[in-house]
Amino acid sequence: MSASQLDIKAFLDQDEKKDLLRLLTAGSVDDGKSTLIGRLLFDSKKLYEDQLTALEDDSKRMGHAGEDIDYALLLDGLKAEREQGITIDVAYRYFSTNKRKFIIADTPGHEQYTRNMVTGGSTANLAIILVDATKGVITQTKRHTFLTSLLGIKHVILAVNKMDLVDYSEERFNEIVEEYEAFITRLDIPDVHFIPLSALKGENVVEKSKLTPWYEGKSVLRMLETIHIASDRNFIDMRFPVQYVIRPDKDFRGFAGKVASGIVRKGEVVMALPSGKKSRIKEIITYEGKHEEAFPPQSVTITLEDEIDISRGDMLIYPNNRPKVERHFEAMLVWMDEEKMNTQQTYIIKHNTHSTKVNFEALRYKIDVNTLHKTPTDHLELNEIGRVVLSTFKPLFFDAYRKNRATGAFILIDPITHNTCAVGMLIDRVAAKNLPHKISDSELEKIDSGRSLIAPEQYENKYNQKAETIWLTGLHGCGKNELAYIMERELFEIGAKVVLLDGATLRNGLSRELDFSPEDRDEHLRRVAHICKLLNDQGIITICSFISPTEKVRNEIAGIIGEDKFHVFFVDTDLETCKKRQPALYEKAAKGEIYNLAGIDLTYETPKKNLVETLEGSLEEKLTPLMDFVKEKLLK
């Protein structure tokens, strides 16, 4: 290998070892966020010749900096951004110096783009919040500082920009610093720095400015290169969410994922959640080979000495350092969907590699991000922030977001649209006994009287159907059972919520002590009617197949279910055809071996009411009006 090749290899090896700083810029509209980053790239010689040429041309055609180069155009690439001179979406830029690598997220300043700032800041180590020296600390400054605190960003640089417009006044700079310090005492931001600068002129951006001799701190770039972030990651609490189970052959079973926090060491005993089973780490494997340990944010495959049941969504931890395992918890939520929050809806929560369903237990309050005032509300809308209590269907394994960002963050997903509705930061678990009491006095009265807390129209909207009873009547062998079962299958296949009840099934259970005398037959049908009412009250369509031979008993059934929900269909099949279909039954009746058989020794009264429909013809011909009725009258 030649000397030049060795030099290149040494340079690449050194570059690989440099740590990465993720930062975001925030501030009000026209405070100079994009200009600062553009100037940073320009003055640190991190632009290519073609980029410089394009920037000069764009500045002449659509720039907002007069005769100067408009460095904001390096970041604001959308047509709407260039037309309005504002940032709308998050723009990411990568660059590096001899000391560190950087990923910059240039976030919008408008309040309507709060969700964009949250997206850009979700992985940031540091935030640069710009303040216009001529305006000072405004509500937007406070809003972005609060969001920075909410996102758990530990390092903030307050960049007092446009110092050239106040003649680089030390007094003005100190006024802004004092006002900002008074505000941040209410927030949890441990490391704050203040820099006076002029992004347009390049003062204190890359090199210290001679125009601010009273300022003894570092330039923006020097601050970014030297600020200490190594201790920001949680290296204490080992958390390894399993993303995939790798099984290429019968001899290898590995668990792949990203080390969320802590240090994974070969030979250590680990516990799998939620099972609680323990084993010892056998190997830690990456694409480079096997390692003795791994740390965040490395992606590795772990093998264990024992065969224990682990799947996607499970988590490996050290037994003596466990996360919270809970279904009920409080969290701060940033709503990101155009559709407002529906606290009655079930959402999907995605937490690391684990997904489950989640319901809202309470919405404590929402926060005015400009004033930090807390106000009661029953929902959140786009870009609003609030404190909520959630309950998941399966337990989550989490730490408080303040302690561990990797295991304290989650997103909510709409199960219908699959939109990301919200991002959340876990605060702490909530004991089940401390969950909000959501039953009002009027609801307690309903419970005491046996009435449902769910209104019929709620079922109707949920299931997209009207819950009513289809009652098929006719002689033994008329085909009503066949119609009922085929109808049930067809309605199920189109998504209807339906239950079928037939005489033989219920006679073997609910009414097993009853015989076929007229009195017991009526009691049997009365029981069936009450079941139908219960099912209808809970939003379910019922299909019933019963002889119900008299007009009197059918009227009693209608009275129990409700005449508006009771629809009788007479399956009109002549007696001779019925005998051919069930010859054994009718032969026993003819011999006197059984009694009270409708059409033989028990009168069957053909339904006469107008609401009754008569079904004639073949099985298919009888089924058609049945299905047409349900689709037209009961299904939405």
Q: Which of 415, 432, 449 is the last residue of a domain?
A: 432
Q: Which of 226, 247, 274 is the last residue of a domain?
A: 226
Task: Summarize the confidence of residues 115-120 as an average pLDDT.
Answer: 77
Domain contains 455: no
Domain contains 371: yes
The rounded mean pLDDT for the chain is 84
Q: Does the pLDDT at position 356 exceed 80?
A: yes
Q: Does the pLDDT at position 26 exceed 90?
A: no
Q: Does the pLDDT at position 615 exceed 80?
A: no
* pLDDT given at position 331: 94
Q: Does the pLDDT at position 611 exceed 60?
A: no
User: CATH number, domain at 470?
Assistant: 3.40.50.300
Domain contains 62: yes
Do 358 and 382 have their domain in common?
yes
Q: Which of 205, 226, 247 is the last residue of a domain?
A: 226
Chain segment 121-143, per-residue pLDDT in tens = 778 899 999 999 999 998 888 88
Helix (H, G, I), strand (E, B) or coil at 66: coil
Do 214 and 349 have their domain in common?
no
Do 299 and 173 have their domain in common?
no
Contact 253, 338 (CB under 8 A): no
* pLDDT given at position 40: 80
User: CATH number, domain at 261?
Assistant: 2.40.30.10
Contact 86, 72 (CB under 8 A): no
Domain contains 542: yes
DSSP for 89-147? Answer: S-EEEEEE-SS-EEEEEE---SGGGHHHHHHHHTT-SEEEEEEETTT-S-HHHHHHHHH
| Bridge-based pairing state of the strands 498-502 and 541-545 | parallel
Alpha carbon of residue 425 to chain centroid:
13
Task: Summarize the confidence of residues 425-430 as an average pLDDT.
Answer: 90
Domain contains 215: yes
Going by pLDDT thresholds of 50, 70 and 90, the confidence category of residue 348 is very high
* pLDDT given at position 98: 83
Q: Does the pLDDT at position 521 exceed 60?
A: yes
Task: Summarize the confidence of residues 159-172 as an average pLDDT.
Answer: 94
Chain segment 32-90, per-residue pLDDT in tens = 777 788 778 777 666 545 555 555 555 555 554 545 555 555 554 433 333 444 444 56
Contact 374, 367 (CB under 8 A): yes
Q: Does the pLDDT at position 149 exceed 70?
A: yes
**Rounded Cα–Cα distance for residues 19 and 563 (Å):** 75
Task: Summarize the confidence of residues 604-617 as an average pLDDT.
Answer: 70
Q: Which tokens is 228 given? A: 């200490």
Domain contains 454: no
Q: Does the pLDDT at position 613 exceed 80?
A: no
* pLDDT given at position 126: 92
* pLDDT given at position 49: 55
* pLDDT given at position 216: 92
For 23-32, 354-363, 537-546, which range has the lowest pLDDT when averaged over its residues? 23-32
For 60-69, 336-345, 522-531, which range has the lowest pLDDT when averaged over its residues? 60-69
Chain segment 563-583, per-residue pLDDT in tens = 999 999 998 888 888 888 889
* pLDDT given at position 272: 94
Do 367 and 397 have their domain in common?
yes
Chain segment 454-510, per-residue pLDDT in tens = 888 888 888 889 999 999 998 988 888 889 999 999 999 988 999 999 888 888 888
Contact 106, 393 (CB under 8 A): no
Q: Which helix (H) or strand (E) holds 529?
A: helix 518-537
Contact 133, 173 (CB under 8 A): yes
Domain contains 7: no
Backbone angles phi, psi at 107, to 5 degrees: -105, 155
Q: Does the pLDDT at position 263 exceed 50?
A: yes
Do 206 and 276 have their domain in common?
no
Residue 373: is it exposed, middle or buried by C-beta count within 10 angstroms (0-12/13-18/19+)?
exposed
* pLDDT given at position 508: 82
DSSP for 8-56? Answer: HHHHHHHHHHS-EEEEEEEESTTSSHHHHHHHHHHHTT---HHHHHHHH
* pLDDT given at position 192: 94
Task: Summarize the confidence of residues 259-284 as an average pLDDT.
Answer: 94
| Residues pairing with 572 in the sheet | none
For 91-100, 215-224, 337-346, which range has the lowest pLDDT when averaged over its residues? 91-100
Q: Does the pLDDT at position 444 exceed 70?
A: no
Do 143 and 191 have their domain in common?
yes
Do 281 and 150 have their domain in common?
no
Looking at per-residue pLDDT, the higher value among 174 and 70 belongs to: 174
340: CB partners within 8 A, 6+ apart: 379, 380, 381, 382
Do 272 and 333 have their domain in common?
no
Do 286 and 265 have their domain in common?
yes
Looking at per-residue pLDDT, the higher value among 222 and 43 belongs to: 222
* pLDDT given at position 372: 80
User: How many distinct structural domains can be found in the chain?
Assistant: 4
* pLDDT given at position 299: 93
- What percent of the chain is modeled with pLDDT above 70? 85
Q: Does the pLDDT at position 358 exceed 90?
A: yes
Chain segment 315-332, per-residue pLDDT in tens = 999 999 999 999 999 999
Q: How many residues does the chain have?
A: 636
Do 335 and 247 have their domain in common?
no
Q: Does the pLDDT at position 3 exceed 60?
A: no
Do 396 and 254 have their domain in common?
no
Contact 241, 260 (CB under 8 A): yes
- The b-or-e profile of 429-452 (16+ CB within 10 A means b, else e) is bbeeeeeeeeeeeeeeeeeeeeee
Contact 114, 369 (CB under 8 A): yes
Nearest of 244, 243, 236 to residue 262 by alpha carbon: 236
Domain contains 102: yes
Do 420 and 495 have their domain in common?
no
Q: Which domain covers residue 246, as residue numbers? A: 239-317
- Residue by residue, what is the 3-state secondary structure of 532-551? HHHHHHCCCEEEEECCCCCH
- What percent of the chain is modeled with pLDDT above 90? 42
| Bridge-based pairing state of the strands 541-545 and 469-473 | parallel
* pLDDT given at position 54: 58
Task: Summarize the confidence of residues 406-434 as an average pLDDT.
Answer: 88
